Amino acid sequence: MRKFFTSLSLADIGNTNAKIWRDGKLEIVSLSDFSAEKIREQIFYISVNPKFAKVLNSLQNWIDIESFAEIDTNYKTLGADRKLAIFGLENGILIDMGSAVTIDIMKNGKHLGGYILFGKSYLIQSFKEKIPHLNFGKNQLSDEVVPQNSEDALLSGFYHQLVSFLRDLEKKHKLKLFFTGGDSLDMLQYFPKAKFNKNIIFENMIKIVEQNY
Amino acid sequence: MRKFFTSLSLADIGNTNAKIWRDGKLEIVSLSDFSAEKIREQIFYISVNPKFAKVLNSLQNWIDIESFAEIDTNYKTLGADRKLAIFGLENGILIDMGSAVTIDIMKNGKHLGGYILFGKSYLIQSFKEKIPHLNFGKNQLSDEVVPQNSEDALLSGFYHQLVSFLRDLEKKHKLKLFFTGGDSLDMLQYFPKAKFNKNIIFENMIKIVEQNY
């Protein structure tokens, strides 16, 4: 029997953060500060984090809905967040720009495969650890300008390499681009026809919960 | 007065390794195992590593030749290795694929600027640290194939994003590609007209030493 959810709690557990969604309000908690036991209400979740699997499985109010996002794919180890992001997408290239950048290609309802790239925050953090004297710039350059210092060289390298790659994928597969994830906004200037939906994973989770519970 | 060098020692000090060149023989030593004091002969060097600057400056047999590689550029903080790699290049895009990937653009003897990207070994190491359950694949895929698992998704993402970017730069600036650095060989299948020279930095260092000492 289908319930009407007056209140809905959702969680997307990643490798860096736990994102908790309560009726349209999003809370992002670093995994090191996150304890699943503290959430007492019924909460529907997906997780790409194997470390949390045992804890979450043992909690009765935590309900894993990954299996409802059935994707027609030959891809092994497609993360739950990627499944939820492309759930229901017939045609398009979905780019999730979080701490990693994942790219998934959907054609006629079939998942053709995808790519995983380093995200901006990973890059910044890793460069800081490995080359402490090199800084990441703050200003994103136009792709007409060749960077004139190492800070810009890093940031421009990140953005314009991705722009080139996405343009090639767009052309090759003749598909529209769909962006989600925090670092997407900077990309939209290069792809004015692309769609951006910050909450696509949670919106698809809500669909699944409403259809199945 | 110009000497004839019957024997020549060179060093390229990076952020990860020290590369020691003795008459065509290359020895690569991890920086953690490297002590400059142990080298007793006269050695000409470049270094991008500010941590080593004091030690190297204090050693009389270590001779910094970076200042001889004069480059016409507005780029601030151009690393000594990048200067030596493009030294004498009139027209071309030089890609040095080491632990970082640096891209430098030379047009009519003028350095137009450049980019810095994460190298393959940094990517592998950083992914291992941050997402221990994700592995890097070993097999490089054709750019006609969309990866079907996360290992390939990482490696293909690294290579094909770079291929797209370099093709765009090649087209935009109408310049030939020149590769150096350990991970270059994998790229040559995509750029059959590109030139590859493993030892370009040392060859240019030799030129400088022969012209100036």
- The pLDDT score that the predictor gives to residue A165 is 98
Relative orientation angle of helices B150-173 and A150-173, to the nearest 10 degrees: 100
Residue B6's pLDDT band, with cuts at 50, 70 and 90, is low
- Of all residues in chain B, the one with the smallest CA distance to A167 is B164
- The pLDDT score that the predictor gives to residue A3 is 59
Give the integer Cα–Cα distance in Å for A50 and A64.
13
Q: Which residues of B touch A105 (CB under 8 A)?
A: 146
Q: Which of A123, A6, A20, A121 is nearest to A62 (CA)?
A: A20
Intervals of chain A under pLDDT 50: 1
Question: What are B159-171's pLDDT values in tens digits?
Answer: 999 999 999 999 9
* Active-site residue set of B: 81
- The pLDDT score that the predictor gives to residue A6 is 67
Interface residue A190 vs chain B (CB under 8 A)? no
Residue A177 · residue A189 · CB < 8 Å: no
Residues 74-113 of A with CB under 8 A from B: 74-77, 79, 100, 102-103, 105, 112-113
Question: What are B8-26's pLDDT values in tens digits?
Answer: 999 999 988 999 999 889 9
pLDDT (mean) for B148-174 = 95
To test the contact with chain B by mutation, choose from A16, A118, A124, A151 the residue with the greatest count of B C-beta atoms within 10 A, namely A118
Looking at residue B108, what DSSP letter applies?
Answer: T
Total residue count of chain A as it appears in this document: 213
pLDDT at B139 over 80: no
Question: What are B56-109's pLDDT values in tens digits?
Answer: 999 999 999 999 999 999 998 899 999 999 999 999 999 999 888 999 999 999
- Which ipTM did the prediction report? 0.90
Looking at residue A44, what DSSP letter applies?
Answer: E
Query: Strand pairing partners for A113?
Result: A105
- The pLDDT score that the predictor gives to residue A129 is 80
With a CB cutoff of 8 Å and minimum separation 6, the contacts of A164 are B161, B164, B165, B167, B168
Give the integer Cα–Cα distance in Å for A99 and A76.
21
Q: Of A23, A33, A81, A168, which is the active-site residue?
A: A81
Domains of chain A with bracketed CATH: 90-197 (3.30.420.40)
pLDDT at B2 over 60: no
Annotated active-site residue A81? The verdict is yes
Give the integer Cα–Cα distance in Å for B121 and B123.
5
Total residue count of chain B as it appears in this document: 213
Residue B5's pLDDT band, with cuts at 50, 70 and 90, is low
Give the integer Cα–Cα distance in Å for A27 and B187.
43
- The pLDDT score that the predictor gives to residue B44 is 98
Tell me which residue in A113, A127, A162 faces B147 most closely, judged by beta carbons. Answer: A113
Helix or strand holding residue A130 (H, E) = helix A120-130
Question: What are B99-138's pLDDT values in tens digits?
Answer: 889 999 999 999 999 999 989 988 888 778 877 777 777 7
Question: How many CB pairs lie under 8 A apart between chains A and B?
Answer: 117
Inter-chain touch A146–B15, beta carbons under 8 Å: no
- The pLDDT score that the predictor gives to residue A4 is 60
With a CB cutoff of 8 Å and minimum separation 6, the contacts of B46 are B11, B12, B13, B64, B65, B66, B69, B80, B81, B83, B84, B201, B205
Give the integer Cα–Cα distance in Å for B23 and B206.
10
